[in-house]
């Protein structure tokens, strides 16, 4: 008899931007490749409403052997509430948490009695071994990447990363992909019939505000696997867009070009978007010409600051001159480009912030985001906070911690000035005739209408991202 496993993807209700839970999808496929013993149910807070009802329907007279909860740090407080509720309605069923949030908090997660286990960083190998352990017995010490209670102490097992050949692509039917077609995965793009791809794990850079979730060695999923999965679902759903959300999709340009060509051989007209980012200062002209001629319809590049001093301090180390030259080069293709800038960086001066704003205003791009830097626990940036600042961040984990409402200012700029600049830079940026013209020129009408509505909501502070 198959053993039931309940998986829960935590997210806010009313979130504007939603994304299929690719992490859960990869875990399930990894286990299914190796065992027919387990049967998975998914409750996805982006799509589903009533957990109690769901459990009543799926688990009358039967219990799952394990509940797995996936959460980002931002939704951790919700994940804990959900775990507490599950302990009431499914008493005795062990609960494991995984994902970027628990991987940052590590053993702190187990300060909550309602969670029994954490699996940190890559989840695949640890998750399969944990399923085997809860269903057949053995020792938790043999489960890689596991954090667990043992008598009076909390034990952290060594992590084990999955080999690049063994990373599985999600079954998008299990993730109910068509229900995501009606939603926004990015504020600027609107609802789209999109296939979601992540083709690598890991990033070689060392930005101090990052979690380095998958380590610094880049693992490349075999191209044939990426293309065959795309082809299979393309036949079924006839996608209009493909999003690549790799940390840095252009880390290996030759490979990136092979993937793009392969996708276009399967669907010539598909539109490409890269919402999670390209590293713009490493692009060659050949690569920029290639993406310029291959249906690129959205490209995100993170600049963060126009101060070279702060680039070095952040260990982002973007070569600003090359970045600017490459953005200007790309602009000949009228690709909608979005760049991000972070406000309130450690030791940032008013002059440096104004330099960043002027830099953003001068770039030939379509969109710019001006966000407050959030020192997330688990990042190097968090370690430079004062005890009081750490306390504020830890307290805000009990509610909502976001780029738009952070109370920690690490810069040398007074709070009042920083807040005013953060609130008004976006609206001033978008209300310039030049910017309105670019948006009209570069963005498809549907995205523009919806994007405009959302930008104004965000500017007025009413929307949640």
Residue with tokens 């999965």: 229
Would you mind telling me the total number of residues written for the chain in this entry? 465
Near ligand SF4 by CB under 6 A: residue from 8, 28, 146, 203: 203
For 227-234, the CB contacts below 8 A with 24+ separation are: 227/259, 227/262, 227/263, 227/266, 229/169, 230/195, 230/197, 230/263, 230/266, 231/266, 233/172, 233/177, 233/195, 234/195, 234/266, 234/267
Q: Which x/- pattern over 81-120 shows residues binding ligand B12 (rule: CB under 6 A)?
A: ---------------x-xxxx-xx--------------x-
Q: Which x/- pattern over 383-402 shows residues binding ligand B12 (rule: CB under 6 A)?
A: -------------------x
Q: If contact means CB under 5 to 8 A according to the sort of partner, which of ligand B12, ligand SF4, none does residue 85 touch?
A: none
Q: Which residues pair with 243 in a beta bridge?
A: 196, 273
70 is a site residue for ligand B12 (CB under 6 A): yes
Near ligand SF4 by CB under 6 A: residue from 109, 189, 207, 458: 207
Residue 380 CB, nearest approach to ligand SF4 (Å): 10
Helix (H) or strand (E) holding 313: helix 308-313
For the chain, helix (H) and strand (E) counts, in that order, are: 17, 15
Near ligand B12 by CB under 6 A: residue from 87, 149, 211, 232: 211
Near ligand SF4 by CB under 6 A: residue from 54, 181, 205, 429: 205
- The DSSP 8-state label assigned to residue 90 in this structure reads S
**At 390, is the secondary structure helix, strand, or coil?**
helix
Near ligand B12 by CB under 6 A: residue from 79, 210, 373, 421: 210
* Alpha carbon distance 29, 65 (integer Å): 18
Nearest to 209 by CA among 372, 64, 61: 372
C-alpha distances out from residue 51 to 85, 110, 146, 271, 289, Å: 9, 23, 26, 36, 49
68 is a site residue for ligand B12 (CB under 6 A): yes
CB 33 within 8 A of CB 168: yes
Name residues contacting ligand SF4, limited to 223-262 (CB under 6 A): 247-248
Q: If contact means CB under 5 to 8 A according to the sort of partner, which of ligand B12, ligand SF4, none does residue 263 touch?
A: none
> Looking at 121-129, 204-212, 225-233, 330-338, which segment touches ligand SF4 (CB under 6 A)?
204-212
210 is a site residue for ligand SF4 (CB under 6 A): yes
- Looking at the Cβ atoms of 28 and 324, the one nearer to ligand B12 is 28
Neighbouring C-alpha atoms within 13 Å toward the C-beta of 40:
26
Cβ neighbours, 10 Å, residue 291: 23
> Looking at 37-45, 69-77, 421-429, 435-443, which segment touches ligand B12 (CB under 6 A)?
69-77
CB 263 within 8 A of CB 270: yes
* Alpha carbon distance 200, 164 (integer Å): 8
Size of site (CB under 6 A) for ligand SF4: 7
Near ligand B12 by CB under 6 A: residue from 127, 172, 278, 382: 127
* Alpha carbon distance 120, 244 (integer Å): 24
Q: If contact means CB under 5 to 8 A according to the sort of partner, which of ligand B12, ligand SF4, none does residue 22 touch?
A: ligand B12
- Looking at the Cβ atoms of 134 and 342, the one nearer to ligand SF4 is 342
Residue 280 CB, nearest approach to ligand SF4 (Å): 11
Near ligand B12 by CB under 6 A: residue from 219, 355, 376, 438: 376
Q: What is the DSSP string of 425-457?
A: HHHHHHTSHHHHHHHHHHS-HHHHHHHHHHHHH
The footprint of ligand B12 (CB under 6 A) covers: 15, 17, 19, 21-24, 26-27, 68-70, 72-74, 96, 98-101, 103-104, 119, 122-124, 127, 198, 210-211, 213, 245, 247, 276, 376, 402-403, 465
The footprint of ligand SF4 (CB under 6 A) covers: 203, 205-207, 210, 247-248
């Amino acid at each position: 008899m198959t053993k039931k496993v309940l998986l829960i993807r935590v997210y806010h209700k009313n979130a504007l931007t939603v994304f299929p839970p690719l992490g859960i999808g990869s875990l399930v496929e990894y286990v299914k490749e190796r065992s027919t013993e387990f049967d998975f149910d998914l409750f996805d807070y982006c799509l589903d409403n009533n957990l109690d009802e769901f459990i009543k329907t799926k688990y009358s007279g039967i219990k799952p052997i394990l509940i797995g909860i996936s959460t980002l740090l931002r939704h951790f407080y919700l994940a804990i509430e959900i775990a507490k509720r599950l302990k009431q309605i499914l008493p005795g069923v062990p609960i494991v948490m995984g994902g970027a949030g628990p991987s940052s908090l590590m053993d702190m997660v187990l300060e909550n009695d309602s969670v029994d286990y954490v699996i940190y960083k890559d989840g695949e190998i640890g998750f399969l071994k944990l399923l085997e352990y809860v269903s057949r017995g053995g020792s938790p010490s043999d489960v890689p990447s596991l954090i667990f209670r043992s008598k009076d102490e909390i034990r952290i097992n060594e992590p084990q990363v999955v080999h690049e050949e063994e990373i599985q692509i999600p079954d998008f039917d299990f993730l109910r992909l068509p229900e995501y077609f009606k939603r926004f995965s990015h504020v600027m793009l609107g609802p789209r019939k999109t296939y979601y791809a992540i083709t690598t794990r890991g990033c070689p850079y060392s930005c101090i505000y990052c979690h380095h979730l998958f380590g610094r060695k880049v693992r490349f999923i075999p191209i044939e696997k990426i293309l065959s999965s795309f082809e299979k679902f393309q036949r079924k759903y006839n996608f209009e867009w493909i999003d690549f959300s790799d940390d840095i999709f252009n880390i290996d340009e030759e490979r990136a070009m092979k993937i793009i060509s392969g996708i276009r051989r399967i669907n010539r007209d598909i539109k490409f978007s890269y919402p999670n980012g390209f590293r713009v200062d490493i692009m060659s002209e050949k690569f920029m010409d290639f993406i310029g001629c291959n249906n690129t319809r959205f490209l995100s590049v993170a600049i963060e600051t126009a101060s070279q001093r702060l680039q070095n301090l952040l260990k982002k180390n973007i070569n600003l001159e090359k970045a600017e030259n490459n953005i200007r080069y790309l602009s000949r293709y009228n690709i909608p480009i979005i760049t991000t800038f972070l406000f309130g960086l450690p030791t940032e001066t008013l002059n440096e912030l104004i330099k960043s704003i002027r830099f953003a205003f001068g770039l030939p791009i379509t969109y710019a985001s001006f966000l407050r830097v959030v020192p997330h626990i688990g990042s190097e940036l968090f370690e430079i906070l004062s005890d009081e600042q750490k306390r504020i961040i830890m307290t805000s984990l009990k509610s909502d911690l976001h780029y738009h409402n952070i109370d920690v200012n690490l810069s040398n700029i007074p709070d009042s000035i920083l807040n005013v600049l953060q609130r008004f830079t976006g609206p001033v940026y978008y209300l310039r005739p030049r910017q309105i013209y670019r948006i009209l020129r570069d963005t498809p009408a549907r995205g523009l209408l919806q994007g405009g509505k959302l930008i104004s909501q965000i500017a007025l502070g009413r929307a949640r991202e």
